[in-house]
């Protein structure tokens, strides 16, 4: 076996082992977080409502303006694209259902999750990474505070609540954006466009996006927190972990979305 080939094979093995270890560590964080949510109060380690509320504000409320702006832009963009594409077949009337189902099933959850991953996932990795480097996480364990209960569980609960809510809000704003652009092109009012959209949507369309967003919430939280806990190398390591958390979150979100789309739209 040639030396370059052996080195490449060894590098592939190290990456594989590291990836499997990361998946296992993320799974353990999830199990511990769920345990503290359900039974932590029995051991004197409850998940504080104040901590959950603070995380909900950071993850959801503070992200609302940029989510609205991005969703509104996506709605207009979809209206432009679908009108241009369907016009070639004389099917402009199908723009309403095309935009509605694309937004609720796919784009609302996907765009919101990518935005939250870049905003809140990186913040989780940076905050926990800074605490790990400065040995604050070890200090929490020494004084009897479980780091997973204190740092991970509130973020997971808040993400599971706020990301689906942000997704629903993004769906509504995107449809309004599409209505403002598409209604004049279709010779209808924006109000009638929205009424027709609501009549064409099924509850399953909305629940499909909400279900996706719940899975995305778990992925973003676990990746951000596990990356933060594994930081080494001081401030430079925190920067690398933050970048890694964002990249991994977006990659996993897109792969999970592809898997959902394959099984839910067959």
- Give tens-digit pLDDT for 32-88: 888 888 887 777 788 889 999 999 999 999 999 999 999 999 999 998 988 888 877
pLDDT given at position 2? 55
Structure tokens at 84: 């241009």
Tokens of 191: 């109000």
Structure confidence at residue 3 (pLDDT): 62
The residue count of the chain comes to 266
How far, CA to CA in Å, does 33 sit from each of 53, 221, 244? 17, 11, 22
The number of domains in the chain is 1
Q: Cα–Cα distance between 99 and 101 in angstroms, integer?
A: 6
Given a contact cutoff of 8 angstroms between Cβ atoms, the answer to whether 225 and 29 are in contact is yes
SS3 of 232, please? coil
For residue 244, give the nearest of 257, 225, 218 by alpha carbon.
Answer: 225
pLDDT at 128: 92
Q: Integer distance in angstroms from the first to the last C-alpha of the chain? A: 46
Domain carrying residue 81? 3-264
Report, as ranges of residue numbers, the positions in the chain whose pLDDT lies below 50: 1
If we measure between CA atoms, which residue out of 167, 188, 212 comes closest to residue 95?
A: 188
């Amino acid at each position: 076996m040639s030396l370059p080939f052996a080195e490449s094979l060894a590098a592939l093995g190290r990456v594989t082992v590291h990836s499997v270890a990361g998946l296992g560590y993320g799974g353990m964080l999830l199990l511990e977080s769920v345990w503290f949510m359900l039974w932590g109060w029995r051991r004197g380690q409850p998940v504080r409502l104040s901590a959950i509320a603070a995380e909900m504000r950071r993850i959801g409320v503070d992200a609302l303006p940029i989510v609205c702006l991005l969703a509104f832009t996506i709605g207009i963009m979809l209206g432009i694209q679908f009108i241009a594409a369907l016009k070639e077949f004389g099917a402009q009337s199908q723009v309403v259902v095309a935009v509605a189902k694309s937004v609720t099933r796919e784009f609302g959850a996907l765009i919101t999750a990518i935005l939250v991953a870049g905003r809140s996932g990186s913040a989780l990795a940076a905050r926990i990474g800074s605490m790990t480097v400065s040995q604050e996480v070890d200090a929490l364990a020494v004084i009897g505070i479980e780091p997973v209960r204190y740092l991970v569980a509130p973020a997971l609960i808040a993400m599971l609540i706020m990301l689906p809510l942000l997704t629903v809000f993004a769906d509504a704003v995107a449809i309004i954006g599409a209505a403002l652009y598409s209604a004049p092109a279709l010779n209808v009012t924006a109000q009638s466009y929205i009424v027709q959209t609501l009549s064409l949507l099924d509850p399953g369309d909305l629940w499909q996006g909400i279900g996706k967003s719940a899975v995305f919430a778990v992925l973003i939280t676990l990746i951000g927190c596990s990356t933060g806990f594994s930081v080494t190398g001081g401030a430079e390591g925190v920067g690398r972990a933050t970048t890694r958390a964002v990249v991994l979150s977006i990659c996993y979100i897109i792969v999970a979305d592809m898997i959902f789309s394959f099984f839910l739209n067959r």
